[in-house]
Structure 1
Amino acid sequence: MEDKDIRLEVARQREMKWLEMFGNWDKWVKHRFQKIRCRKGIPSSLRSKAWQLLSNSQDLLDANPGKFEELEREPGEAKWLDIIEKDLHRQFPFHEMFAARGGHGQQDLYRILKAYTIYRPDEGYCQAQAPVAAVLLMHMPAEQAFWCLVQICERYLPGYYSAGLEAIQLDGEIFFSLLRRTCPMAYRHLKKFKIDPILYMTEWFMCIFSRTLPWSCVLRVWDMFFCEGVKIVFRVGLVLLKQMLGSVDKLRELQGMYETMERLRNISPDLLREDVLVQEVSGTGGCCSITSVHKAGLIMVPMPTQS
């Protein structure tokens, strides 16, 4: 059997496993077997349904028939609508869905973001929501994408998109303390040049790496994120810093704050292969082992450290 045939057979087997899980979802969720499946990657043909089930956004959709259309009919606040309108063309401008100004992709993106400002008027609109909603729209219709966005904002990353960014600042402090334990060399470098986590991790975390990593890596990270929660975002961030700042050779090229920030903002696509990233994030490649991350803080198990 040729390699291509083997890959096709493996892909078919994975699809069958996921279809079996969909048919017995309550059992699979109870036993958390899907964690392993998510780390292996969700088949692209089933990713939409899997994300909706993993996030429980399907339940929200079923519990709120007609709600999205109702939100669409509301006029919305002009201040939010103006900002949303200006942001539409910035989201994945080379993707066929969003390339055309006023095209279907941009229209659906506008519908979702506007609906959220009406659904949560106390929060309104945050610009980091736009790329997140765009990624969802690449995988599912607007109504399903809206409820998935609601779950990300309220269940996975609560407080991240609120004015003041208090939640992301708190998680920045937690992230930096984890870095001190998992990669002291990177920690000391950032500390030396007074590079606060908020300067680089805001886009990473709030956009769930959709603007940071190669696309194949983004999808694998999102698969794990929907299954295991925000700890995946922390782990990916730690892996990236370890890869960029975790050796003497790498730091030799970064003589100051400017060079370091340039490296953090423009991560080379060659830095991490998809399989290596997943291995590191899954805890089998020497990265941290975070068992739970939430608003109150972290519950951790001992982590291997780097000298």
Structure 2
Amino acid sequence: MAYAYPEDEMATNHHDNDSDDNTEPSRMNHVANIGSANCDTEEGMGVIADKYGFFGGPYYTDPEISLSKVDSATIRYREVKWIDMFADWEKWMSKRFDKVKGRCRKGIPSAVRSRAWQYLCGAQVVLENNPGRFEEYLRQTGDPVNIEAIKKDVTRQYPQHEMFTLGGFGREDLLSVLKAYSIHSPAVGYSQAQAPIAGVLLMNMPAEQAFWCFVAICDKYLPGYYDPTMEGFLLDCDIYEGLLKKTSRNIYKHIKKHKIEHYSYMMNWFLCVFCRSLPWDCVLRIWDMFLCEGVKVLFRVSLALMKMALGGKLKQCTNDESTLAQLEKLQKGLLDPDVIIEESLKLPLTERDFEKEHHKRLRKRRRTTAEAAH
């Protein structure tokens, strides 16, 4: 199932009313272009990197422009809360998951994000149970076709980030992670959409830890997204269409009228978990929730972005090009991650809605496949 992760009631009580937190101080030809779409260059690089490590380019965060409403004292307070949870993680996940979920929605402090992501996706346990496996993969030769494709794509990822500039150690680590996964899962091999995902992980943790998080994302969170058929992604495109119809019927009709294929914009949103589409502070906040709650977060954020971009502007979008341009305009704007998350959680979608749409679309795809076989 595409989103079988811890159950939530995302449409209700999304602030979690955490009493102790209240004490805080105030056909896919398109896929070949994902790895290089809007590819950064090293021209115009600034001298000082931003707080995320970018020297310039579309992901650079201007230190003079900050939408953060969280003061340093609150951040320190939240760090302590996360450290307390790490000490008894299984209890928190099994008995107090709503509290964990609420803290992920508020944003994981950067000082503990690496460890939190590993715990949330289960990579920490898998790593402990597989000592030396990553190094073993790296000693193997691998499929020459996959390795050659990976080597070409490594230089295209985040070249304006301090880790991935020419000669940066991040490029070697990225090659290692992608090569290891292509050997770990030969049926999937390598997809260009995977490189940006691995890059985000490496910005936050060492290569071996990043590898096991990457395995969790590809195999557990987004199964069937990166294999040659892309069946998991295509199914989620169908599910998304049904949820868009339920939450924004006017936008759904507009998309239908102009014959816009959902995958034309969902490629970068879902396959790359927004890391090629949004400002970096938004990306990290979405990943905090995604690794806690699963792919439902991607559905909710996508539906919220559609409303934010096209709600009240459909008359200005007279064709497919102007509609997609409006989406692109939103993505390049100054977006507040708190607003995106709040809007995504306000959507009137329940766990039952996700389950119902999943089963409906899965039955339809199976029926279509069976008919084609005859």
With structure 2 as the length reference, what TM-score do the two structures score?
0.74
Question: Secondary structure of the equivalent of 2:196?
Answer: helix
Work out which of the residue numbers 328, 347, 350 in structure 2 matches 1:287. 347
Aligned to 2:47: none
1:14-34 alpha-carbon deviations (Å, 9 max, x no partner):
011111111111111112020
Give 1:55's aligned amino acid: C
Aligned to 1:133: 198
Q: How does 1:215-230 map to 2 (within 5 A)?
A: 215-230=280-295
1:146-165 correspondence runs (5 A): 146-165=211-230
Say if 1:80 and 1:117, in contact at 8 Å, map to a contact too: yes
**How far is 1:272 from its partner?**
3.3
Displacement after TM superposition at 1:263 (Å): 3.0
Note if contact 2:85-2:92 (Cα within 8 Å) is conserved in structure 1: yes
> Quick check: 1:200 aligned with 2:250?
no
- Partner residue, 1:34: 100
Select 1:211's aligned residue among 276, 280, 283. 276
Report the counterpart of residue 180 of structure 2 in structure 1.
Answer: 115
Over 2 Å off, 4+ runs: 261-272, 288-296
The answer (yes or no) to whether the contact 2:178–2:190 under 8 Å persists in 1 is: yes
Contact 1:225 1:232 in 2 (8 A): yes
Residue of structure 2 aligned with 1:185, choices 232, 244, 250: 250
Amino acid at match of 2:127: L
RMSD of aligned Cα (Å): 2.1
Please state whether the residue corresponding to 2:351 is helix, strand or coil.
Answer: strand
Which residue of 2 is the match for residue 22 of structure 1? 86
Give the match for residue 327 of structure 2. 264
Q: Secondary structure at the match of 1:90?
A: coil
Change (3 A) 1:174 1:296: closer
> Which runs of 5 or more residues in structure 2 are unaligned?
1-24, 27-67, 361-374
Question: SS at the partner of 2:261?
Answer: coil
Give 1:45 shift. Answer: 0.4
Partners of 1:69 and 1:62 in 2: CA distance: 14
Q: 2:162 aligns with which of 73, 80, 96?
A: 96
* Local SS of the residue matching 2:71: helix
Give, in whole Å, the separation in 1 of the partners of 2:283 and 2:269.
Answer: 11
Q: How far apart in 2 are the matches of 1:296 and 1:191?
A: 18
CA deviation string 1:264-305 (max 9, x = no partner): 345444363111112122x2xx32424275799269xxxxxx
Give percent identity, aligned residues only: 48
**Structure 1 residues 21, 29: CA separation in 2 closer, same or farther (over 3 Å shift)?**
same
Partner of 1:276: 339
Measure the CA separation in 1 of the matches of 2:242 and 2:290. Answer: 21
- Structure 1 spans left out of the alignment, 5+ residues: 300-307
2:144 equivalent among 60, 78, 98: 78
Q: What is aligned with 1:242?
A: 307
Superposed displacement of residue 134, structure 1 = 0.1
Does residue 142 of the first structure (1) align with residue 203 of the second (2)? no
* Equivalent residues of 1:235, 1:288 under 8 A apart: no
Deviations 1:5-53 (A, max 9, x none): x822211110111111111111111120200110111000000000000
The answer to whether the Cα contact below 8 Å between 1:167 and 1:295 also exists between their aligned partners in 2 is no
Gap change, CA 1:298 and 1:18, over 3 Å in 2: farther
Q: Distance in 2 between matches of 1:198 and 1:265?
A: 14
Secondary structure of the residue that 1:276 maps to in structure 2? Answer: helix
Kindly state the Cα deviation for residue 244 of structure 1 after the two structures are TM-superposed. Answer: 1.1
CA contact (8 A) 2:304 2:343 kept: yes
TM-score of the two chains, using structure 1 as the length reference: 0.90
Distance 2:174 2:351 in 1: 34
Aligned residues: 291
Distance 1:167 1:268, change over 3 A: closer
CA gap of 1:225–1:107, structure 2 versus 1, over 3 A, is same
Q: Which has the higher contact order (CA 8 A, sep 6+)?
A: 2
